[in-house]
Amino acid sequence: MIKRIQAWLSRKDRQEQPVEISPDNIPRHVAVIMDGNGRWAKRRGLPRIVGHQNGMKAVKRTTIAANDLGVEFLTMYAFSTENWKRPKEEVDFLMRLPVEFLALELDELIEKNVQVRVMGDTDALPAHTRKAMEEAVERTKHNTGLILNFALNYGSRKEIEDCMRGLGRDIQAGLLSPEDITSELIDNRLMTSGLPDPDLLIRTSGEMRLSNFMLWQVAYSEFWFTDAYWPEFDKTHLLQAVAEYQRRTRRYGGLK
């Protein structure tokens, strides 16, 4: 017990220290696995949906903080292909969250020159969710600032499977030969086509796994994990993650 208290105090002291960020080494693309909404609510004796509502506020905080920091691309893992297994009431609520979020925040995102994108199997989303996302994409398509990319009904294995099937069909049709398949070609066939690979991957809530998120794209990303639940995530956490990113040397398999 004493060791746990000492560890907690040590972590608290570190968090309260000023975070120094170099403007010359800001990660271009930050990807976030937003985890812990339900556990945040449970610890407070609240329904899980309250955790999701507060998680929506963290999306806004993080987007603004990333934009102010100079991040160019921010990908948020909003709903996975596996999340359909959750209780229907919770899934229905999660499908209403993008509608609520964009109704409240889209005008401010437009003011801040943020461009909204979405990747995933959007055809399987409820009509109201799909309509809200399509409107956000359309209204922000000419913005030139931060690209806020929502991974919605997204699963990396399915993404890769779909890519491989497409390449297989092209080979069968004589449009490609196996020798034509390169990493660059695969990059262009994935849902993240046109985006750089994430420089920094953040996951909240203390879990340390990828959960079927951007398995191809994070091959050389730097990972940063925090015990904070997603509804607690704020600018300080983002600065800590970027500061840690800047302390690391990215070798890409080579020597530096």
Per-residue b/e over 60-96, b at no fewer than 16 CB within 10 Å?
eebbbbbbebebbbbbbbbbbbebeeeeeeeeebbbb
The amino acid occupying position 159 is E
- Does 128 appear as a known binding residue? no
Q: Is 36 annotated as a binding residue?
A: yes
Q: Cα–Cα distance between 88 and 105 in angstroms, integer?
A: 26
**35 appears as a binding residue in the annotation:** yes
> Annotated binding residue at 45?
no
44 is in an annotated binding site: no
| Residue 48 labeled ligand binder | yes
Task: State the DSSP string of 52-108.
Answer: HHHHHHHHHHHHHHHHHHT-SEEEEEEEETTGGGS-HHHHHHHHHHHHHHHHHHHHH
Residue 222 labeled ligand binder: yes
37 is in an annotated binding site: yes
96 known ligand binder: no
Residue found by looking up tokens 């309250």 in the block: 50
Q: Report whether 125 belongs to an annotated binding site.
A: no
Say if residue 52 carries a ligand binding annotation. Answer: yes
Active-site residue identified among 83, 170, 212, 234: 83
Closest CA to 28 of 73, 75, 93, 85: 73
**Active site annotation includes 24:** no
Q: Give the other-Cβ count within 10 Å of 122's Cβ.
A: 16
* 14 marked as part of a ligand binding site: no
Catalytic-labelled residue, pool 35, 67, 153, 199: 35
61, 55 Cβ separation under 8 angstroms = no
Concerning whether 35 is annotated as a catalytic residue, the answer is yes
Q: Are 34 and 58 in contact (CB under 8 A)?
A: yes
Closest C-alpha among 125, 124, 34, 37 to residue 77 = 34
Q: Mind telling me the catalytic residues?
A: 35, 83
- Which residue ranges make up the annotated binding site? 35-40, 48, 52, 80-82, 84, 86, 203, 209-211, 222
- Which residue ranges make up the annotated binding site for substrate? 36-40, 48, 52, 80-82, 84, 86, 203, 209-211
- Which residue ranges make up the annotated binding site for Mg(2+)? 35, 222
